[in-house]
Structure 1
């Protein structure tokens, strides 16, 4: 297993378990985290605290059983692309979804995530947000 794959897999596990303080230790102090346009948490967040506050805390409180399953990794030096699937049930509507994603990560010289870009089927996610 590539060192970056090991590190990233640990971040998926930690965020899935709600261990957000531990998750933050994998991010550089000035990480740039981009959630895709059209995604419920769209935006660019700078720094671990902003990432957790605007993305991961919301995932943990607004969704039941939210998960990001990392399935396939591809590597180019310190850049990693992960293909996987999101799933969960939106608490306010009770609707579930499964959506494909690609995550692009760039690591700094200390093996911390310095850049994240999300690509996702946001239409599938957004359908879960709408009440009938």
Structure 2
């Protein structure tokens, strides 16, 4: 018999990272609130705050996938705060244009409301990104 229990925000975040790293961006976008606020750090090639899944795809996901192949955001630890999940991990990839490797630690703060991701803030080693991409 299938469980009718609601999934926890931690389970949703884990599914999102797994899906993203498998190239299933649609699953990731499907967990986002239509008015999600997504922030990439200053000093990053993708810096800015974007609203909505379309803006995130255009300004973050698509450019990262254009710049890197392969690319993965590899979670190493989850801190479950209920409606706020903090994910600690490492971005790993290879820059398409140069073959340069990237390995940059990150902390992602994921805020949920009613099982939907409403806010995401990326804290990462922007110097490592700049060194790898050359920007």
Q: TM-score, normalised by structure 1?
A: 0.91
Between 1:9-18 and 1:88-97, the stretch displaced more is: 9-18
* Number of aligned positions between the proteins: 129
Tell me the SS of whatever aligns to 1:21.
Answer: helix
2:133 paired residue number: 129
Question: RMSD in angstroms over aligned alpha carbons?
Answer: 1.5
1:47-84 per-position Cα deviation (integer Å, ceiling 9, x unaligned): 01111111112222221111100111112230111100
Among 68, 92, 107, which residue is 1:87 paired with? Answer: 92
The ranges of structure 1 where at least 4 consecutive aligned residues each deviate by more than 2 angstroms after the TM superposition are none
2:19 paired residue number: 14
- In structure 1, runs of 5+ residues without a counterpart are none
1:1-33 per-position Cα deviation (integer Å, ceiling 9, x unaligned): x82222111111222222222221110010000
Contact 1:93–1:130 (CA under 8 A) maintained in structure 2:
no
- In structure 2, runs of 5+ residues without a counterpart are 1-6
Q: TM-score, normalised by structure 2?
A: 0.89
| Structure possessing the higher radius of gyration over alpha carbons | 2
Alpha-carbon separation, structure 2, partners of 1:99 and 1:13: 18
Alpha-carbon separation, structure 2, partners of 1:121 and 1:98: 9
